[in-house]
Chains A and B, each alone.
Chain A
Amino acid sequence: MLAYVIPLCMVMMGIAAALNVYRLIKGPDLPDRVLALDTLYINALAIIVLFGIWLTSDLFFEAALLIAVTGFVSTVALGKHMLHGEIID
C-alpha cells in the first residue's frame, strides 16, 4: 500500500512547493517572499522525510534536522534584516 501512497504524497508536496514558488516570485512585498521561503523549507523537509521512507533509509533524518535548524535561523536573520536593516545589531 505504501508503494502507492508515497508517490501520491510526493505529488501533493510537489504541488505545494510549486504554489510556494509562485508566491516567492510574485509576492508583492518582501515579507511575502520571506514567508514563502519559510514554507518552502518546511515542505522540502517533508519531501526528504518521505524520500527516506521510500528508500527505507534512516540517513535522511540528519539532512531533515539540519534543514529545520538552518531554515529557522535564516528566517530569523531575514526577519531581523527587514526590521532593522541589518542582521547583526
Chain B
Amino acid sequence: MSIWLELIVSALLLIGCTFALIGAIGLFRLQDFFMRLHGPTKSTTLGVGSIIVASMIFFSSRAEGLSFHELLITLFLFITAPVSAHMLARSAMQQKVKLVERTRGTPWE
C-alpha cells in the first residue's frame, strides 16, 4: 500500500471521526430536542459515510481487487437518516416536548 493511499485513508478516517464526534457533542450539549436533532442527522451521517468510504479505498488497494460494497451502507444511511429524523420530529411534536423560550414560530398539533 503506497504512502499516498495511506495518507488519504487516514485523512478520511480522521475527518469522519471528527464529524461523528461533533454530532455526539451536539446531542450532548444543545438545549432542546429539536436543536439536538440537527447533530445526529447531519454530522453523524456524513462522518460515518466518510469512514465507510475510507474503508472502501483501503480494501480496494489490497491484493484481492476492487471492493465497492461498502458504498451500500453509505447509500442506506443517507436515505434513512432524514426519514428517521422526520419521524422523531413528528412524534416529539405530538408528545409536546419542551422548547427553548426563544424559539420563533410554533410547532403543530
A–B direct contact (CB < 8 Å): yes
Closest partner residue, chain B, to A74 (CB atom): B84
Among B14, B37, B67, the residue within 8 A (CB) of A9 is: B14
Size class of the contact patch on chain B: 35 or more
> For the complex, would chain B's binding face be called helix, strand, loop or mixed by DSSP majority?
helix
Do B51 and A72 touch (CB < 8 A)? no
Among A2, A34, A45, the residue within 8 A (CB) of B48 is: A45
* B1-29 interface code vs A (CB 8 A; 1 in, 0 out): 00100110110011011101101110110
Residue B106 interfacial (CB < 8 Å): no
Do A15 and B6 touch (CB < 8 A)? no
Size class of the contact patch on chain A: 35 or more
Do B76 and A69 touch (CB < 8 A)? yes
Do A42 and B84 touch (CB < 8 A)? no
Do A28 and B24 touch (CB < 8 A)? no
Residue A83 interfacial (CB < 8 Å): yes
A23 CA / B58 CA spacing, docked (Å): 33
Please indicate the chain A residues that have their CB under 8 angstroms from the CB of B45 in the complex.
Answer: 42
Do A38 and B24 touch (CB < 8 A)? no
Do B13 and A6 touch (CB < 8 A)? yes
Do A76 and B87 touch (CB < 8 A)? yes
Knowing A1-B7, A79-B88 are in contact, say whether A46-B20 is a contact too (CB < 8 A). Answer: yes
Closest partner residue, chain B, to A62 (CB atom): B69
Do B28 and A19 touch (CB < 8 A)? yes
Do B58 and A53 touch (CB < 8 A)? yes
Closest partner residue, chain B, to A49 (CB atom): B55
Among B16, B25, B98, the residue within 8 A (CB) of A19 is: B25
Among A8, A12, A32, A45, the residue within 8 A (CB) of B33 is: A32
Interface pairs (18), CB distance under 8 Å: A9-B17, A13-B20, A19-B27, A20-B24, A23-B36, A31-B88, A34-B88, A35-B36, A36-B27, A39-B23, A39-B39, A43-B48, A50-B13, A58-B64, A65-B72, A76-B84, A76-B87, A79-B84
